[in-house]
Every structure is written in structure tokens, then in C-alpha cells.
Structure 1
Amino acid sequence: MNEDAIVSPEWLAEHRDDPDVVVVDVRDAWEYDGIGHVPGAVNVPYDAIRAEEHAAEGAEDGADESASESVESGRAGMLPGADTFATLMGEAGITREDTVVAYDDHHGVFAARLLVTALLYGHPPEHLRLLDGDYSAWTREHPASTETPDVAATTYEVTDPEHDPLVDIEAVEEAVDDPDVVVVDTRSPEEYAEGHIPGAVNFDWREVVDEETRGLRPADVVRDVLAEKGIVPEKRVVLYCNTARRISHTYVVLRHLGYEDVDFYEGSLTEWKREGRPLVSE
């Protein structure tokens, strides 16, 4: 992902008919069909891209799988498994050569999870985009559709990512005491106060969101807010939340802003607590 990782509705309107662009709606099927969607968008519901045992967990809570297991098996946190993901993408008519533009109706946090999942399964980062402002931003100025596009199934190839941002629990423990690393808790201040990884700073993922536009706040404002928390490009950043959903949005935002060294603790607090690692309460 790069400075083009987040695109405007205007960009999407201009490019959605490009043959190598696939727009992906990650809302539930009933929303996609009943409420409408970006014309030409395919539907890959968010629950489908999570490991089966976690698919019903809409909130950031309990999980049983360890992030120390392989990505391919789907046991690294909440990942669905390579075969499952390849099937989902293939059924949606997506190939690794396509530029995927994802959106949801929740400030992009669910869509970002799809994009990070694709990244972890080897989709080229320069071909992944998040719609700024979610579905509501699109409908303010552009038409919606209830027609389901006809797509030809493809064989989606899963590979190792160009750069693997996943880190395990031992790497997080080491990062806590490293002055060149900032460990970031992307949950709410209330959750952070109840218990967080020692040394972690709190940066609620919603701090970068403009509630009125539902999109990203101005880049200079976001950079200032990040810097106030010590989250600067000169440091390696390690992100966590509860079940790796909210860190997906922050990961996309940081890469969009040019942060080059950003790591992703997929196991997050679900694994950290299960392994009996210490927490700090405030």
C-alpha cells in the first residue's frame, strides 16, 4: 500500500469501469441487494473473510485461535485460510492483477480488513484501495444500483506477500522495550484503560475519521494527531486491538500517509491474554 491506498468517490467514479478495477462491497448480502451498492460492485461479505469460528463475532471479543499458527491454515488470528480466501476472490471474479477498491458502511474499518487480508495472502499492495468515506460518501454524489453484475469466476492465486507485516507475540514483547518502536493500541480509551499491553500508547482508530464526512480527516491533521502520540514515520509501529479488525483501518491509513515500517499483531489482545502475558490498567 502507498499514498494511493485511500481513494475518493470521485476517483472511483472515474475508474470503476476500468477493466482492471474491481469494486468490492463487504456489507452483508441483504444490504448489498436491498439497499443498493456502487454500480458494478461485487459482494464479498465481511463475515466470509474471517476464520469460520470467528465469523459471528461482530464485536471485538473472544477468539480461540493462536496467531503463532500458519497464515495458510487460517489460524493466524482471524484469517480465513488461503484456500477459503482464494475461493472467495475467485467466485467474485477477482485476480491478483486486478486493482481492488473496497468499501463498507462503517468508515472503512471492515473494508480495510478485506484489503489487509488480501495483502497478507499476496495481493500486490499497489493494487489495493480503500474508498474514503464508505458507501454513504458514494451515494451523496453518485447513483447506486440493485443489479448484481455478471462475473466470470477466476482462479485466484495466493502467494507470500511482498512484505509480510505480521509479527508474533514474542516480537511484540521485544518491541515493548525497544525505544525505536511504538506499540499502538487502536481500541477505545475505555478499553485501553481496562487493560493494555505494557508500554503501548492508545490511538483509537476513530481519531482519524471525520464523523460528518465519514472519511479520513485532512492528512496534515492526522499526522499531527499521530505525532502527539509519538507515532511518527521514523519509528517502527506495531499495531494491535482485540481481534485484528480495527488495526486493519489504522494500518491502511499509516501506509497511505507514507509510514513504511508498520507491523501487524494479528493475534492482538485475544492471544496476549490467553497466553497469560501482563496487562496494565489505568
Structure 2
Amino acid sequence: MYENVVVSADWLAERLDEVRVIDVRDAWEFDGIGHVPGAANVPFAEFRSEAGDEGMLPGRETWESLLSTAGVGPDDDVVAYDDTHGVFAARFLVTAELYGHPPERLHLLDGDFSAWNREHETTGESSSPAATDYAVREPEHSPLVDYETVRDALGDDGTVIVDTRDPAEYAEGHLPGAVNLDWRELVDDETRGLKPESELRGILETAGIAPDGRVLLYCNTARRISHTYVVLRSLGYADVGFYEGSLTEWTERGGPVETA
């Protein structure tokens, strides 16, 4: 189990000089609203591409260029945030893991930018981090699973397939046997951060998602599962598969779908 997968604003404030902070909001928000001092801006749209690698991964060269410009070193501790409960920042972190950044050095700011903004200083000044020569590496263990793996897991009593979309989407069509866990169920709307750990574990247990079982995650385009993946990792779930193709690839390939 990795420590400090999800970190507080106070945790970050104590380590601002020791970590690379990535703000994935749009540039106008980064500049106009303000940001965490020293943060680099890597807007969400810049690391999502249908012309990149599998699913919506941006491609190795694009990722290397983005992280080099942002001043990220190959073994830096990275803290990412957005202003949308962490779902876009989580996507950045998962992308980093899939491209070989050490997962124990990837952190999500709990409560998004608002958590920082409530208690800590912000700035409108653009930072100019020293560029690095970031290089993608093969991860020691990749959570990626492909269409065939998910297909073969249908009906496997030892695997829980989790649909992280909202209930209406789930009702319209989902993978056979999948359980529905809207990613927003894990977020406290008031704090914008994660619900308390005991509550998170209760929600997951009720959904039949056990920490000692195999879990496969999907949504439409692998954005929402990024947040759920980070939450499960923070809770010590060891066997979590990340279906990058998600329902987009599943339906394109004629995978079976059932309705509620």
C-alpha cells in the first residue's frame, strides 16, 4: 500500500519546495483565477488524444514533451490538482503511472484547488520551471487491461467489474454483470475531497468491491475510472485493472451490453 496517495493542502504546503505541482485546469483559470505557487500548468486537453496511444492516452512523445516543459524529473514527487473534485487531476496521475513514473511518487490533492485556496496563498504569476529531459519508461507493473482480458472476466466469480458512470448511463447499457459505482459517490460535495476512509470502505463493501479481490474498472473514455483507481490505490486495493478502452472500445468491438 502506497502512502500519501491522496494528500491534504497542509501536506502540500509543507513540501512545496520538494515536489512538482501540476495544475490541469485550463490556462485562463491558471492565470486568471490563480494557482498554487510554483505550479506548472498542463491543461487536461493537452494530454488527451484519440490519435495517441491506446484509448485516450496522448502518446509517448507528447507526454515526454509536456512533462519536460513542466519541469518534471523522472523520479520527482508529483502533486496534481484541478477544480473538479480531482477527476481530471487523477487522469493526469494515472497517465503518468501508465508511462512509467513511480506510482509511489504520484499524489492527488484532496479537495481540489478550492482546498488550497481556502487556507493558503495563491498567485497569478506564471512559473517558469527549468525544463527537463523527461523520458517515458516501461512501468514495473501496469494496471492496464485490454478488451480480451475484460471479456474473459465476464462471469468470473473472483472478479468484480465496476462501472463508474452515473446510474442513468449504467441503466442505458453496461457490461454484463458489472456493478455500478458512480465515482462521485466517493466524494464529499461540501469539502470537494474524499469522504472519510470508513465511509469509503462502507460504500465499496456495499457494492461488493472487496480489497482482497480482483477489480476491473471502466467508464466511457477512462476519465472517471482514473479517480476511482486512485481512491482504491489509496485504500490498499492491490489488484485493480484499468480498462483504458472502456465502453467506447467495448461497443466498437461488439462486446455484449445489457440494460438495467
* TM-score with structure 2 setting the length: 0.98
Q: Which residue matches 1:186?
A: 164
Q: Matched residues in 2 for 1:25 and 1:137: separation?
A: 14
Q: Matched residues in 2 for 1:173 and 1:274: separation?
A: 14
- Say yes or no: does 1:32 pair with 2:10: no
Q: What is the deviation of 1:169?
A: 0.6
Q: Pick which of 215-224 and 1-10 moved more.
A: 1-10
* Aligned-pair identity (%): 63
Q: Matched residues in 2 for 1:128 and 1:162: separation?
A: 15
Q: Which residue matches 2:12?
A: 12
Q: Matched residues in 1 for 2:207 and 2:71: separation?
A: 41
Q: Matched residues in 2 for 1:168 and 1:255: separation?
A: 20
Structure 2, gaps ≥5 residues long: none
Q: Which residue matches 1:63?
A: none
Q: Is the 8 A contact 1:238 1:264 kept in 2?
A: yes
**Mapping of residues 1-282 of structure 1, within 5 Å:** 2-18=2-18, 21-51=19-49, 74-282=52-260
Aligned pairs, how many?
260
Question: Where do 4+ consecutive residues of structure 1 move more than 2 Å?
Answer: none
Q: Deviations over 1:97-130 (max 9, x none)?
A: 1101000000000000000000000000011000
Q: Deviations over 1:156-202 (max 9, x none)?
A: 01011121111111100111221111000000000000000001000
Q: Matched residues in 2 for 1:52 and 1:143: separation?
A: 37
Q: Matched residues in 2 for 1:236 and 1:269: separation?
A: 19
Q: Secondary structure, in 3 states, of the residue corresponding to 1:15?
A: coil
Q: Which amino acid aligns with 1:2?
A: Y
Q: Deviations over 1:176-232 (max 9, x none)?
A: 221111000000000000000001000000000000000000001000100001101
Q: What is the deviation of 1:133?
A: 0.3
Q: Which amino acid aligns with 2:26?
A: D
Superposition CA RMSD, Å: 0.9
Q: Which amino acid aligns with 1:255?
A: R
* TM-score with structure 1 setting the length: 0.91
Q: Is the 8 A contact 1:3 1:258 kept in 2?
A: no
Structure 1, gaps ≥5 residues long: 54-73
Q: Is the 8 A contact 2:3 2:104 kept in 1?
A: no
Q: Deviations over 1:255-274 (max 9, x none)?
A: 00000100000000000111
